[in-house]
Chains A and B, each alone.
Chain A
């Protein structure tokens, strides 16, 4: 489908596709197997300026928006959802600074991020605070010109690899989540440590670790927005980033579909390619239609974000929900089309299936997304 991309967006998509197909696809199985972080690929993405597509030009970016970031994320995920997360996770970690940072904070952090010199990570989840993000325990105590952080963040994407962390912590425990604030913590700060690397079902090339703060002192100027704004920073960040998760899901789904289509055309059974059987054709038709619908919703939402819409909670939840469900379904069907080969690690189909699953879980489970969507719908109905 023609999404009427701008000339610059077409360039971005084509370059991301070229890198994904030529550089990432050949090594996707390797990184999945070894669970190493794909630094050589991050270097390529950095040198190609892709880290800066959604950042303003005055901070070294290319002046695009979330749509541009989605195009890159989708193409990278089409080759490997795990490696793509090194990119997308940096986007998530950067958004709090981009959306709520002061000019000085932006000047300090964004140019390095745009140049891909430093990766970023976003830290909210804790052992006891998953879907219930409001129950975080990590604290930030103000003492003179600094804050002292204590607590443990869990399942942090890019943790250990990234150098810039945006962290949600409580500055006023008495206020609960209304007492949360957002901070920037740089890797190497005393009192900041990382837990062991998690072993995962999918997106195994992505680094997931605990981030542990023990009397970790950071300068007061690292506070983003104001004290007490932490939850709003987090919610706004997630609303803005969800089209990116949708794009990742679309990419994974497209990758699985590519794999199924190629296999179906080449695989001969009963004396003919299995793509000539209607049973396979109908599966492919459904997969293709679902992927396109998910992409259309993801792009529409990304463009809505870029247009400066006031609230995108409902739409970005819809995009994330729909695209991730499509990714899971299409990936399962791709494995089915490949049959026994699909179950084997020799072919990438099973990896797409393992990678797809996370998109239904992280950045808000799909159950939480449905809550958000329904709540917004009911709120809108009330206003009428």
Chain B
């Protein structure tokens, strides 16, 4: 079974601090990490491989330094890695990003499963996974929290819903987006880290993808950022003090209208 797992390198939010004067993000010294949701996709991909055999290819689109994320993916059990990187991709919104990744997946060719994290922690759109499956015209099951059964014939999975979950059956190839509940990602292994060190990710540019240039990057993106602004910071309000009984009384009084 050949599995492709799409990952994204994002700024590590645990490092993110806010400049108290300008109220903007301090990005200096912020480490880049694999999108936390993609870690679950990598783990699930490796588990499918361990169950069914085959190989896992990690795929990312990003600047050259995104290679670090691919190496980490290899240390976590992925076998191969593909970096899609070109200035022509700059300015891609989710439409162009999913177009580009779909083109890369077509070029990888032989695949049974595409796995994605449910969303990226920087963009939070949850649009790229479904976008890829639409471009590839393959079935998708989003927000899956469990793979009950998987084989060349197809898969049975649990899709998380607001109220519980749906059990869904799908033929392969299929795209899945995974939620945190699906697994606990393993730690990297030393042997994996050594493999990662010597691994040479495949690098493709726009020309390699045989894609429509008009569908790439800013040009291929229907949406534009009109402006970026800092929201008025939420101001701290009133501090209440006194004994537990006193503050409780005061607070209950203040909130009375909201709770009845």
Contact = CB atoms under 8 A, between A and B. Distances in A.
A–B contact via C-beta, under 8 angstroms? yes
B188 to A, nearest CB: 6
A18 B190 contact: no
Interface string A32-52: 000000000000100111101
A375 interface: no
A19 B187 contact: yes
A148 B220 CA distance: 79
A11 B189 CA distance: 10
A15 B189 CA distance: 8
A196 B24 CA distance: 59
B190 A15 contact: yes
Nearest to B192: A49
A47 B189 CA distance: 6
Interface string B176-210: 00000000001111110110000000000000000
A48 B192 CA distance: 8
Contacts of A47: 186-187, 189
Interface string B155-191: 0000000000000000000000000000000111111
Contacts of B187: 15, 18-19, 22-23, 44, 47-48
Contacts of B189: 47-49
A337 interface: no
Contacts of B186: 44, 47-48
Contacts of B194: 8, 11
A358 interface: no
Interface string B210-237: 0000000000000000000000000000
Interface residues of A, number: 16
A167 B186 CA distance: 35
Nearest to A22: B187
A53 B189 CA distance: 11
A293 interface: no
Contacts of A23: 187
Interface in A1-60: 8, 11-12, 15, 18-19, 22-23, 44, 47-50, 52-53
A116 to B, nearest CB: 10
Interface string A41-81: 00010011110110000000010000000000000000000
Contacts of A11: 190, 193-194
Contacts of A48: 186-190
A22 B188 CA distance: 13
A11 B72 CA distance: 13
A12 B193 CA distance: 10
A290 B160 CA distance: 54
B207 to A, nearest CB: 35
B196 to A, nearest CB: 10
A258 to B, nearest CB: 18
Q: Give the one of A15, A22, A52, A62 with max B CB within 10 A.
A: A15
Contacts of A19: 187
Interface in A79-119: none
Interface string A333-354: 0000000000000000000000
Contacts of A15: 187-188, 190, 193
Contacts of A53: 190
Contacts of A50: 190
Nearest to B196: A11
Nearest to A23: B187
A19 B185 CA distance: 12
A44 B190 CA distance: 12
B39 to A, nearest CB: 12
A22 B191 CA distance: 20
A50 B189 CA distance: 8
A18 B185 CA distance: 14
Interface string B235-253: 0000000000000000000
Interface string B105-119: 000000000000000
A225 B194 CA distance: 35
18 contacts: A8-B194, A11-B190, A12-B190, A15-B190, A15-B193, A18-B187, A19-B187, A22-B187, A44-B186, A47-B186, A47-B187, A47-B189, A48-B187, A48-B190, A49-B189, A49-B190, A52-B190, A53-B190
Which 6 pairs across A and B sit closest by C-beta, in order of nearness? A49-B190, A49-B189, A48-B189, A48-B187, A49-B191, A19-B187
Given A15-B190, A49-B189, 18 more contacts: A8-B194, A11-B190, A11-B193, A11-B194, A12-B190, A15-B188, A15-B193, A22-B187, A44-B186, A47-B186, A47-B187, A48-B186, A48-B187, A48-B188, A48-B189, A49-B191, A50-B190, A62-B190
